[in-house]
Amino acid sequence: MPGTTLFISDLHLCGVRPAITGLFLDFLRRRARGTDALYILGDLFEYWIGDEAVEQEEFRSIIRGLRELTAGGTPVFVMHGNRDFLMSDVFEKATGGRLLKDPAHIDLYGTPTLLMHGDSLCTDDTEYMTSAPRCGVLRGRRNSSTSPSRSATGSCATSGKSVKIPPQPRNRKSWT
């Protein structure tokens, strides 16, 4: 659909909610194909995850769906969220998408447009605002380490301190 740019965010895709993943894959095949661009503005995945998503079984269909979309000529731009901030060039190569900095400025059909994930605006969440910069969540996003186990102790490159990364909830009801 020329003249159409799509924006999505906070899908929090994971293996325990296959229906949402199925809807996303259907969206890629039917709605996003042939558009001018698809922007994913953070938290595509539910867990604190990075490039290992490319190799994990529960995310293979998502990686393949994004790759098919980009191979078909639709550009995909992905911004880090506060969960998937470890994605890098491995993710880009696997999907054909391009990672964006947060915030990013784009020209949207002649209109200057600011894109951001939005977690930097959560100023009332003082615990998050205090700990996130230590792990690079709000700056550059690639300053922590994690494992595929949904909880880890990350070593923050900016401070050299070890920070406990809490387990991420398995269903939306547990954190809304």
**Which are the contacts of 39, defined by CB distance < 8 A and separation ≥ 6?**
5, 6, 7, 8, 76, 77, 78, 79, 100, 115
Q: Helix, strand, coil proportions of the chain in percent (round to 5)?
A: 30, 20, 45
**Which are the contacts of 130, defined by CB distance < 8 A and separation ≥ 6?**
none
Say which range, 25-29, 76-80, 89-93, 157-161, has the weakest mean pLDDT.
157-161
Instruction: Read off the pLDDT of residues 7-53 as tens digits, 9 standing for 90 and up.
Output: 999 999 999 999 999 999 999 999 999 999 999 999 999 877 777 77
Say which range, 61-70, 87-96, 167-176, has the weakest mean pLDDT.
167-176
- What six digits make up the tokens of 19? 């229906």
Q: Does 147 or 117 have the greater pLDDT score?
A: 117
Give the residue among 129, 146, 118, 143 at the shortest CA–CA distance from 43.
118
Q: Which domains does the chain have, with CATH numbers?
A: 5-122 (3.60.21.10)
Q: Considering the entire predicted model, what is its pTM?
A: 0.73
For 73-95, what is the mean pLDDT? 92
- Answer whether 24's CB lies under 8 Å from 33's CB: no
What whole-number distance in Å separates Cα of residue 56 and Cα of residue 60?
6
Q: Could you identify the residue written with the tokens 């229906």?
A: 19
For 83-92, what is the mean pLDDT? 88
What whole-number distance in Å separates Cα of residue 8 and Cα of residue 41?
6
For 109-122, what is the mean pLDDT? 88
Give the residue among 122, 125, 124, 143 at the shortest CA–CA distance from 134.
143
Instruction: Read off the pLDDT of residues 139-172 as tens digits, 9 standing for 90 and up.
Output: 444 433 333 333 333 322 333 333 333 443 444 3
Give the residue among 43, 161, 47 at the shortest CA–CA distance from 102.
43
pLDDT at 132: 61
Other Cβ atoms less than 10 A from the Cβ of 99: the count is 19
